[in-house]
């Protein structure tokens, strides 16, 4: 038998050397959980991360169709629909039929949405800062670089 336990013990034979705590997928989920909690603690008007991303993309890009907005914000068409619906219910965006293309619903930022985004940007900086707090500045830059490569 090895020492007092655990550390170097062989796990259940079924697992062999598979270490869940070292798998990217698992670690990405944990990091995402922590970020989500920090986001929620600092958010304005109850905006969620995806709602915030959507507003940012809308401000960057200007009005666009729902599908395109989904692509800009990296969301599935079913997901972006729900996000846009909720943003519209809250008065942060509005939708209007496109003159050019009768399939399209053009989504645009309302004044209220712009004001909410305006107040949310500083919070976003704080959220990023707090999420990266466990890392030193060079490590932070490195993590961002690696995650971008992974995207």
Partner DNA sequence: GGAAATTCATTTGTACGCAAATGGTATGAA
Partner DNA sequence: TTCATACCATTTGCGTACAAATGAATTTCC
Among 43, 45, 50, 108, binds DNA (CB under 7 A): 50
The reply to whether 76 sits near DNA by the rule CB under 7 A is yes
- 107: phi then psi, degrees, rounded to nearest 5: -100, 135
Q: How far apart are CA 70 and CA 76, in angstroms?
A: 6
- The answer to whether 29 contacts DNA (rule: CB under 7 A) is yes
| The two three-digit tokens of residue 89, written as one number | 């219910």
Q: Report the number of secondary-structure helices (H) and strands (E) in the chain.
A: 6, 3
| CB closer to DNA, 58 vs 83 | 83
Which of 37, 40, 41, 74 binds a copy of itself (CB under 8 A)? It is 74
Cβ pair 66, 108 in contact under 8 A? no
Q: Which is nearer to a copy of itself, 21 or 100 (CB)?
A: 21
Closest CA to 111 of 89, 92, 96, 83: 92
**Of residues 87-126, those binding a copy of itself (CB under 8 A):** 114, 117-118, 121, 124-125
- Which of the stretches 55-63, 80-88, 95-103 binds a copy of itself when contact is defined by CB under 8 A? 55-63
């Amino acid at each position: 038998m090895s020492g007092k336990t655990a550390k170097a013990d062989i796990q259940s034979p079924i697992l062999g050397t598979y270490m869940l705590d070292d798998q990217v997928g698992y670690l990405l989920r944990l990091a995402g959980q922590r970020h989500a909690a920090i986001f929620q603690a600092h958010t304005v008007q109850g905006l969620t991360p995806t709602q915030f991303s959507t507003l940012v993309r809308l401000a960057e890009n200007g009005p666009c169709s729902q599908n395109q907005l989904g692509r800009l914000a990296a969301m599935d068409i079913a997901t972006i629909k729900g996000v846009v619906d909720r943003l519209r219910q809250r008065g942060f965006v509005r939708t209007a039929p496109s003159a050019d293309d009768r399939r399209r619903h053009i989504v645009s930022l309302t004044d209220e949405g712009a004001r909410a985004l305006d107040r949310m940007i500083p919070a976003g900086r704080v959220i990023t800062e707090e999420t990266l707090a466990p890392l030193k500045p060079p490590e932070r830059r490195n993590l961002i670089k690696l995650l971008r490569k992974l995207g």
